Structure 1
């Protein structure tokens, strides 16, 4: 197994790194983030769901932990763990974009998220067919 695949196969490690990074980044940015944060956008790129800041900061790390536990409970194979790790990395990037938008940066969140999701599917298929 090549080094990137070997790292991604260690899904619990990836989950730990992603969760720690999200919590550290959320803590570092917490004071600068607005009290109400956009967390979802419609196809036109307009925010259509906002939540309180603590929820927006803690929700993605909680999802990553939940997904990691789900992989452990279901006894997933190496390929599934790699895909799960890729999904967790995608969630990390999405949270970065959420923070950016809520800090006032002009992030084209819809096209970037769609491109990332398409890339995730392509890489997952590539890993599964090897």
Structure 2
């Protein structure tokens, strides 16, 4: 069985690599322990060592990519573009989460409500795109 990578796979892999490289580029500026989880009010309430904080989200991204690709092979969507869109969008969301974590730990205040609003918009766009494309493909 030959592994064939399409454009969405390459974009997803680029987002994973970029997220890891960003952490490595910021390594010397990041604290020894990073806040990696935040309460509903935006206050840090979970921490991890720098190596764990820098590597764990790219590793989660890679695992998510494999899971989504596997799920797409087991139960492919009606419209093939949906799988690629959802995959890239998910990698972009996880990269943004890592960006938020880095920004907060470097002392750059990012309004938590604004970040959560962005996640809400992401949900609406991804679900809306998926439903519209699947409905259109099912009607064809």
TM-score bucket of the superposed structures, by smaller chain: 0.7 to 0.9
> 1:68 deviation in Å?
0.8
Report the Cα distance in structure 2 between the residues aligned to 1:10 and 1:68, rounded to whole angstroms. Answer: 14
Give the match for residue 107 of structure 1. Answer: 110
Query: In the alignment, is the contact (CA less than 8 A) between 1:19 and 1:64 conserved in 2?
Result: yes
Give secondary structure in 2 for the equivalent of 1:44.
Answer: coil
Larger Rg: 2
Q: TM-score, normalised by structure 2?
A: 0.79
Partner of 2:25: 28
Structure 1: tracts of 5 or more residues without a match? 1-8
TM-score (norm 1): 0.84
Using the alignment, how far apart are the partners of 1:10 and 1:67 within structure 2? 17
Partner residue of 2:51? 54
Gaps of 5+ in 2: 1-5, 134-140
How far is the alpha carbon of 1:13 from its aligned partner?
1.4
Q: How many residues align?
A: 121
Structure 1's consecutive aligned runs of 4 or more residues displaced over 3 angstroms after TM superposition are: none
